[in-house]
Amino acid sequence: MIELQDVSKTYHLKGGNVNAVRNVSLSVADGEIFGVIGYSGAGKSSLVRCINLLEVPDSGSITVNGTRITWQDEAGFHRLSNHDMKGVRKGIGMIFQHFNLLDRSTVFDNVAYPLKYSGLNKEQIRTRVRELLELVGLSEKAGTYPSQLSGGQKQRVAIARALANNPPVLLSDEATSALDPEATESILSLLKELNEKLHLTIILITHEMAVIKSICHKVAVMEDGRIVETGDVYSVFADPQQEITRRFIGEGALMARTEILARQTAADGQLVRLQFQKTVVGDALISDVSRRFAVDMSIVLANVEIIQGSPLGEIIVLMKGAEKEREAALAYLEERKVRVFRLSGTGKGGEA
């Protein structure tokens, strides 16, 4: 379990103070992949670096794997000593956007580096490194240097190194941002596999909602140093509460298109957005409505996403018919657990 309560971090710079993290509280369960998303400057990297005290917060309490590393009491703010943090950090692996590999060391030596002072003998280290390289799919690259690897392979080495001491927690700070789409997909698949195989708790920092959608169980949205929205990924995608969240999931672009459609079709009927969540995606509700009510429904736009293994469908339809019939049809859809958004007002096309 990772628990943050009212954590804040301010940087004191020549040009003024920067409030990077503001009173952030969140909980991450064991074995969970928890995504933190925000635009550049939102504070997400500062937040994740506070978890292992690469950045020391100014206030708040942080607990990792049952150990309090910062806390508040009547006497003020406290943090774990550097000596005690060495032991805590062995239980927290971390990977970065730019890999941070030792260029003059082989893949084997890069992975072995964290084990140098672990108390293992040379044979035990050799065995452990081989296990790790097999785990990340790089067994044949042990004698290779980082300059000879692709970006995706370098990140796999970084992941193997981060897991050297069998940490239960892995922090990923924009680990896929420097990779092409194919390598990104490969690394995300690896992280998901490690989460399931090792029961690894992962906090994943990103600015890409596609990354969140791909592997995360829960997500927190950061803006201006604050958590503005949090929840399981499916619920946040299905019903975003904040404007920044809607921008991340692309709803803004969808609405821009529908506004154009609304202007073009307002005289012909009513434009409606229908959202079908996992319990009703497979139901033939459009044809059902057409049979039950005196309305015509033409599909204008349609999309189905798979999020956390469950479908989330949205369609935009142009409804024609008497207003009374249209409203009855929409009420029927809402009874069937379809979310209804009226987009173009009350066009009277087809009304008797």
* Residue 350 banded pLDDT, cuts 50, 70, 90: very low
SS3 293: coil
Per cent of the chain over pLDDT 70 is 91
Distance of CA 161 to the CA centre of its chain: 23
Q: What is the pLDDT of residues 278-312, one digit of tens each?
A: 776 656 788 888 888 999 888 887 888 888 888 88
| Euclidean distance between CA atoms 231 and 234, whole angstroms | 8
**Residue 154 reports pLDDT greater than 80:** yes
Cα Rg of the chain (Å, integer): 25
Q: What is the pLDDT of residues 212-261, one digit of tens each?
A: 988 999 999 999 999 999 999 999 988 889 999 988 887 555 655 666 66
Predicted pLDDT at 303: 80
Checking DSSP bridges between strand 76-79 and strand 67-73, what pairing results, if any?
antiparallel
Cβ density class 212-243: b for 16+ within 10 Å, e for less? bbbbbbbbbbbbebbbbbbbebbbbbbebeee
SS3 146: helix
Q: Per-residue pLDDT averaged across 263-279, rounded?
A: 75
* Residue 336 banded pLDDT, cuts 50, 70, 90: confident
CB-neighbour burial class of residue 302 (10 A; exposed 0-12, middle 13-18, buried 19+): exposed
Residues 6+ apart with CB under 8 A from 348: 323
In this structure, the chain runs to a length of: 352
| Euclidean distance between CA atoms 14 and 32, whole angstroms | 39
Q: 0.75 cut: is pTM over it?
A: yes
One-letter amino acid identity for 278?
A: K
| CA dist 80 → 5, 72, 84 (Å) | 16, 12, 6
User: Does residue 224 contact residue 42 with C-beta atoms inside 8 Å?
Assistant: yes
User: Does residue 197 contact residue 137 with C-beta atoms inside 8 Å?
Assistant: no
